[in-house]
Amino acid sequence: MTKITFITSDNESITVEGHSGSVMQLAVQHGIKGIDGDCGGVCSCATCHVHVAEDYFEKTGQAGDIEKDMLEFEDNVSEFSRLSCQLEINDSLDGLVLTVAK
């Protein structure tokens, strides 16, 4: 199981576990506030925007080209922004900390 911690806009820290699928799907399953996943994970809504904790950014890597295009339309983009639907859960992400974008 891979543990992922979400920090919501209320500054609540919620740790959940998953073993497959995308980080967005995991967040939606657990009702993480601020992650809606409106497009179902096809990289066309940006309602799954998160900021990866700097220490973990090496593990998630940079956004892909389509993802970057989508993030251009978002407010509050940082150098650590990712769309969580594009993050596949795997063992290497264990301990990942994500701040839900406002």
| 16 interacts with ligand FES by CB under 6 A | no
Which of positions 22-51 make contact with ligand FES (CB under 6 A)? 24, 37-39, 41, 43-48
Taking the least distance from each CB to ligand FES, the nearer of 29 and 55 is 29
Residues 6+ apart with CB under 8 A from 36: 28, 45, 47, 48
Q: How far is CA 68 from CA 5, 72, 80, 100, in A?
A: 23, 6, 11, 17
* Residues of span 43-102 touching ligand FES by CB under 6 A: 43-48, 70, 83, 85
In the complex, least distance from residue 60 CB atom to ligand FES, rounded to whole angstroms: 14
Cβ 28 to ligand FES shortest distance, Å: 9
List strand residue ranges (DSSP E) for the chain, in order.
2-7, 13-18, 49-52, 81-83, 96-100
**Site for ligand FES, rule CB under 6 A:** 24, 37-39, 41, 43-48, 70, 83, 85
